[in-house]
Structure 1
Amino acid sequence: MENPCDNTTNPRPHILVEGGTEFCLGKFDGKRIDYDFYKVLAYLNAKGKSLFGEKFEIKKEDKLTFLKLSSYLVQDSESCKKMQIDLKKGILLTGPVGCGKTSMMRLVRHIVPHKKTYEIIPARNITFAFNHIGYKIIEDYGNGRCYCFDDLGVEPRGRYFGDDCNVMGEILVSRHDLFQKTKILTHITTNLNAEELEDRYGSRVRSRMRQMFNLISFDRYTKDKRI
């Protein structure tokens, strides 16, 4: 996996430290990092233990998903092309409850500390904020920052001074407008499949999501890792 590195302040952007141990993620020639996926996995496994506890381990069945997300984050155009991932779109990560979507999105962004990535915001928290603050919340999340909206589809319907609102649906429309104008990306994790997303947010939003996202899916039979 190759990645152009624009960081001039860190002479060793390919070396990350976790728990006092240095992890070399690949080779750096001063301009580009040639990532070694197995070394990236070793780092992610160590970082995962730091974030989620010593019982954390990357499962064999999840390695392909980690490869896709890691290739995407380091902007490896060749690998992404082979896996049909468009670097100009965001990530829509789907899978059953407890399969590890949120943990994975929290974890993989650490392999590129020299780059700005995304802020993870639970969709339900946005709806709760809308219920208190109102429509300003929709404006706030239509701004120029990169977000990962977590657990899309489990949030309640918004209600402000008697008005019902499909808050996340409206935010996704705003994010689509932003994407069209500026190419700023949005990412999502969800338990819902395509049909369920359309039922929840309507065909208008679903059509825009096709333009905005790469679909990366866990197998529907993936076990709940929280049990």
Structure 2
Amino acid sequence: MLRMCYQSEVERRNMKYVSDEATLEKIGKAAKFLCGNGKFGLLLYGTVGSGKTTLAKAICNIIGILYNSDLSSERKGVYRISALNLAKSIADDPTYFNKLKNQELLFIDDVGTEPASVKSWGNEFSPVTELIYARYDRQLFTIATSNLADEEFGDRYGERIADRMEEMFERLHYSQKSYRK
């Protein structure tokens, strides 16, 4: 089912779905994560154009399908936001940013593209750092994508956040070439 959602995401962008070994491996690992392995986050990171956002969107879609079907009495969806818009929200609408920190299901796309810090009314904030702290403490379901390498998370966000991310996220590393070419 997740593979079908992934294929649908690819085709929605008028691209050809390629069922290669790397893609099937990532879909399989993501499906295993969704079945429960103890971690409450999934980090898809690595090379540009390798299918990270596509898989994250497919996961969001399958969660929406399952929660909004006759199989479930609950209605839920995964809230989606880019890291850049997340950074803008902390300055433009702090109430909205706080809502994101407490959102039950959240997908943050392109972590690492946002400014490291944002100023609002003379105060300086680190949006991703604050968000990760809050979601880590509450153990809230979080999917994130990034082009950062393993060691760059610590360099960018500090060792404390990198350590929390290690505990919080199941990690899927992407090293294949871009599918966009």
State the TM-score, normalized to the length of structure 2: 0.82
Question: 5+ unaligned residues in a row in structure 1: which ranges?
Answer: 1-24, 26-39, 78-85
Note closer, same or farther for the CA distance 1:109–1:167 as it changes in structure 2 (3 Å cut). Answer: closer
Counterpart of 2:154 in structure 1: which amino acid?
E
Note closer, same or farther for the CA distance 1:136–1:49 as it changes in structure 2 (3 Å cut). Answer: closer
Q: Residue 223 of structure 1 is aligned with which of 166, 170, 177?
A: 177
SS of corresponding position for 1:204:
helix
Structure ranking higher on relative contact order (CA contacts 8 Å, 6+ apart): 2
Contact kept? 1:144, 1:178, Cα under 8 Å: no
- Residue 197 of structure 1: how far off its partner (Å): 0.7
- Residue 46 of structure 1: how far off its partner (Å): 4.7
Counterpart of 2:56 in structure 1: which amino acid?
M
Contact kept? 1:45, 1:58, Cα under 8 Å: no
What is the rounded CA distance, in whole Å, between the counterparts of 1:51 and 1:173 in structure 2?
34
After TM superposition, the structure 1 = structure 2 runs for residues 3-152 of structure 1, keeping only pairs within 5 Å, are: 41=3, 43-44=4-5, 46-73=7-34, 75=35, 86-112=37-63, 113-115=65-67, 116=76, 118-133=78-93, 135-152=94-111
* Alignment of 1:171 onto 2:131: yes
Contact kept? 1:138, 1:170, Cα under 8 Å: no
Contact kept? 2:49, 2:177, Cα under 8 Å: yes
Identity %: 26
State the TM-score, normalized to the length of structure 1: 0.67
What is the rounded CA distance, in whole Å, between the counterparts of 2:141 and 2:133 in structure 1?
13
- Residue 130 of structure 1: how far off its partner (Å): 1.9
Note closer, same or farther for the CA distance 1:187–1:49 as it changes in structure 2 (3 Å cut). Answer: closer
* Alignment of 1:188 onto 2:119: no
SS of corresponding position for 1:114:
helix
Note closer, same or farther for the CA distance 1:49–1:141 as it changes in structure 2 (3 Å cut). Answer: closer
Q: Which has the higher helix share?
A: 2
C-alpha offsets along residues 58-89 of structure 1, whole Å, 9 cap, x if unaligned? 3332110011112323x1x6xxxxxxxx2442
Question: Paired residues, what number?
Answer: 171
What is the rounded CA distance, in whole Å, between the counterparts of 1:49 and 1:62 in structure 2?
12
Question: 5+ unaligned residues in a row in structure 2: which ranges?
Answer: 68-75
| RMSD (Å) for aligned C-alpha atoms | 2.2
Counterpart of 1:65 in structure 2: which amino acid?
K
Note closer, same or farther for the CA distance 1:162–1:223 as it changes in structure 2 (3 Å cut). Answer: same
Contact kept? 2:9, 2:57, Cα under 8 Å: no
What is the rounded CA distance, in whole Å, between the counterparts of 1:137 and 1:159 in structure 2?
16
- Residue 205 of structure 1: how far off its partner (Å): 1.1
